[in-house]
Amino acid sequence: MTAPAPTRRSRRDLLLRRVLPALAVLVVAAVVVFLVLRGGDDGSGNAAAASSTSAAAPSTDLGLEPTESSPSVSPSPATEAPAPTVVSRPGVPEASRTVQATNGDFAATASWSDGATIRVAEAHQQVTSGTGPGELAGQPQTVFNLELVNGTDKPLDLNTVVVQATYGSGPTQASPIYDQKSVDFGGTLAPGDTATAVYSFAIPADQLGKVTLSVDVDGFRFPAVFSGAVPA
């Protein structure tokens, strides 16, 4: 028996059963693709916006630790070095010093073995007037009046005399002070003659109990040294 030919309605039902599922799959796929693309655009946009915001906003963290301003500190005075016992003179070896010195306190007379003598004729304490080169007014100043007698039989060259002073237990070398009354030893002192000089040093008044004053005349005699309390 021959099967009956399908009617128009049965053919339409068959078409719907086959096509509709395929269309549904295509629609779902299209929706998924649309959502994925839209989400990617939004993420890129957000990332770009965030990057732009980060670039525009100034950074406050520069990797530096916060520090407080250091208080201003007054420079400390330079440390004074101890005075040398002898003065080195160019061209004069140390072995040339053969004339011995007899030292004493500020009330005594120091003498050399060849007959020359020196003493502190006067010492007094005052404050600076500020008239000398680099001198500040009102600073402590110890003034020494020295008297040197050439008791030798030869002229004595006084052009290289070096006078130094120290004070305290350190000891601390006292800075020399030059004012209008300062007078250095100089010239040539004939046998039997006397030379005077005035030297000043910055020695605090409360340090006058322990002072050393050395007079180094030349490279051939040891320095004469006065030590003890200054009768100022």
Residue 92: pLDDT band with limits 50, 70, 90: confident
Q: Give the residue with greater pLDDT, 196 vs 1.
A: 196
pLDDT at 173 over 80: yes
pLDDT value of position 90:
86
CATH of domain 94-228: 2.60.40.1240
Residue 165 identity (one-letter amino acid): A
Dihedral in degrees, nearest 10, Cα atoms 58, 60, 61, 62: 70
Burial 128-158 (b: 16+ CB within 10 A, else e): beeebeebeeeebbbbbbbebbbbbeeebeb
pLDDT tens for each residue of 45-79: 454 444 444 444 444 443 434 344 444 333 333 33
pTM to 2 decimal places? 0.63
pLDDT at 140 over 80: yes
pLDDT value of position 21:
56
Domain residue extents for the chain: 9-43, 94-228
Report which secondary-structure segment, H or E, holds 172.
strand 172-173
Contact 123, 147 (CB under 8 A): no
Q: Give the residue with greater pLDDT, 168 vs 50.
A: 168
State what percent of residues in the chain have pLDDT above 90: 52
